[in-house]
Amino acid sequence: MTTFICGYWKIKDNVKHSYNNHYKKLIPKTFNILKNCNIVFFYDDDDVLSYIKKHIQTNNIIYKKISIDSLETYELSKDYLETCKHQDNVSLRKINTKNEKGLVHYDREYKKSGEDSFRKVFTVWTSKLFLINKTIDENPFNTNCFAWIDISASRFNRDIGLYTQFYLPNKLFHFGAGSKYYGATITINASFLIAHKNIWKKLIPLYEKQLELSKNSKYAHDEETILYLIWKDNKDLFCDIKKYKLLIRFLHIGKTGGTTVSKCLNLKKGCHNKIKINPNDRIIIWLRNPIKRLVSAFYFAKYLINFDCSKIDYNLNLKNNIAPERINMKIKNKSKYMFSKRFDNLINTFKDVNEFFESLSSKNINNKKNSMKLINYCNGIKDYDYVGFFKGYNYYFDNGDFINKYYKQIIYIGTNENMDNDLNNLADILNINIKEKNIPYFRKNSYDTKLSDLAIQNICNIFKNTEFKCIKQLLDINQISKEIYENYLNYNI
């Protein structure tokens, strides 16, 4: 999740905007953007605080009272007032007159608002990053991501989802700006800045250094011009949100709990099939003990294949059935088979999963052949019918090639065994609030999931160079723990 930092200080004689006619109208809208978010709010006026409390839409907010003259850059504002006074406006107008920051601030913040107002406005603008730094050090909500948002950010015509969506932990993300610095377009709009705490800790020393370097530059600066100067030499640290086209791809492997994950977090899933990965995509994967996954897939298939569709006299959905779409499709198509003649018959060849696994080493040629055909379904062998949920890791991971190629784009791997905790962790990463656990219908059954030693040995031998190999690759790239890996090599009910 993200901690959002914002604040408001009334500044007498500031001609840019008034509290009553501008900010009071925008504050409710901005806090609507931050509904149910973690917020640290800075202020110095109790009347402002009273108004803020009327419009807050979260229980997770901390109020911090601090005067402008206690902010980090207040003393430095003396130097910036002087450098503003010495700005060469004649020469600057020859370079640019439209939206030139220096000219705007000289006229509005200095000449029209006055020296005291200039210092205070400059202090508020340029102290944003230091308030972020202070909040990171305290980290009251124990988050990794921190964002500054202007209390008037709602004045912009932006997709509000962009404020709370997931961002990679490798850059500072910001909106673009249209103002100028010596005629050049400033790339950064500081009304909203979001980054992982490690990026902030890398950026803030650069910001401090640039503030010192620019204090005698004879230009009327603000925080955006300072950030722009940093950007010129550190472009890899910054990313314009509008150019940030990141797509979260959920690789939905059957019987791992993928439907629960997608429903709880509103993720678009891969529909039990391979997914095409683009360079900007980020991947989420859910796992389950490979043997338990196949046991579950076997009984899931057996349940559906032997489901009596003739007795359905109610509307099927995930609240009352484990596979409403599949059953409705069979009814609609008036099909004799739930999946296909071959797959349905193969599943019903075996009375239970133990017989299926034991037959992998059977002396009965037909039993062994039928059991290996089901393994082919698990591996997604060509020319076998598509039964998505039955396919295992070897199919989805292309026998390991998928992991080798895209491991850097995997942002999270969760497990069925640790569902609640992993769901919450992923929700934090994606900045998604889980309002309720929309767990699909769970069918308690009487199927025997016990496996004999022979059955376990057989399936382990089969999985050695397929499922277990893929799981080992995830361990090798530190995407799963050694504990999970070792648990996945065994089968315990």
Task: Say yes or no: 237 and 134 in one domain.
Answer: yes
Domain assignment present for residue 423? The answer is yes
CATH number of 223's domain? 3.90.550
pLDDT in the model for residue 462 = 96
Task: Say yes or no: 235 and 252 in one domain.
Answer: no
Domain assignment present for residue 493? The answer is no
Domain assignment present for residue 188? The answer is yes
Which of residues 243, 266, 281 is at a domain's end? 243
Which of residues 243, 266, 298 is at a domain's end? 243
Q: What percent helix, strand, coil does the chain show, rounded to 5?
A: 50, 15, 35
Domain assignment present for residue 123? The answer is yes
Task: Say yes or no: 360 and 480 in one domain.
Answer: yes
pLDDT in tens, 311-326: 676 576 666 666 777 7
Report how many domains make up the chain.
Answer: 2
CATH number of 477's domain? 3.40.50
CA end-to-end span of the chain:
35
Task: Say yes or no: 341 and 467 in one domain.
Answer: yes
Instruction: Please state, in angstroms and as integers, the Cα–Cα distance from residue 297 to each residue in 291, 387, 390, 463, following that order.
Output: 10, 10, 6, 15
Domain around 435: 247-488
Task: Say yes or no: 414 and 402 in one domain.
Answer: yes
Compute the distance between CA of residue 180 and CA of residue 400 in angstroms, rounded to an integer: 50
Maximum alpha-carbon separation in the chain: 97
pLDDT in the model for residue 440 = 52
Task: Say yes or no: 205 and 299 in one domain.
Answer: no
Task: Say yes or no: 194 and 102 in one domain.
Answer: yes
pLDDT in the model for residue 437 = 57
pLDDT in tens, 90-140: 999 999 888 899 999 999 999 999 999 999 999 999 999 999 999 999 999
- Among candidate residues 126, 130, 159, the one with its CA nearest the CA of residue 146: 130
Domain assignment present for residue 80? The answer is yes
pLDDT in the model for residue 444 = 52
Instruction: Please state, in angstroms and as integers, the Cα–Cα distance from residue 455 to each residue in 120, 287, 307, 344, 365, following that order.
Output: 75, 22, 27, 22, 17
Task: Say yes or no: 221 and 360 in one domain.
Answer: no
Domain assignment present for residue 140? The answer is yes
**Contact predicate 363/354, CB 8 Å:** no
Task: Say yes or no: 324 and 442 in one domain.
Answer: yes
Which of residues 202, 222, 243 is at a domain's end? 243
The DSSP-derived string for 415-475 is EGGGHHHHHHHHHHHHT----S--PPP-----------HHHHHHHHHHHTTTHHHHHHHHH
Task: Say yes or no: 216 and 287 in one domain.
Answer: no
235 burial via Cβ count (<10 Å: 0-12, 13-18, 19+): exposed
Cβ neighbours for 395, distance < 8 A, ≥ 6 positions apart: 274, 378, 379, 380
DSSP state of 21: I
Task: Say yes or no: 412 and 270 in one domain.
Answer: yes
Instruction: Please state, in angstroms and as integers, the Cα–Cα distance from residue 2 to each residue in 26, 43, 167, 428, following that order.
Output: 22, 20, 10, 8
Q: How many CB atoms lie within 10 A of CB 454?
A: 14
**Contact predicate 228/206, CB 8 Å:** no
Average pLDDT, 10 consecutive residues per value, the chain (493 residues): 95 87 94 95 96 95 98 98 96 90 96 96 98 98 95 94 88 94 95 97 98 97 98 96 85 90 77 78 94 95 85 65 71 82 95 97 96 94 84 93 93 94 87 63 67 97 96 95 96 84
Task: Say yes or no: 82 and 20 in one domain.
Answer: yes
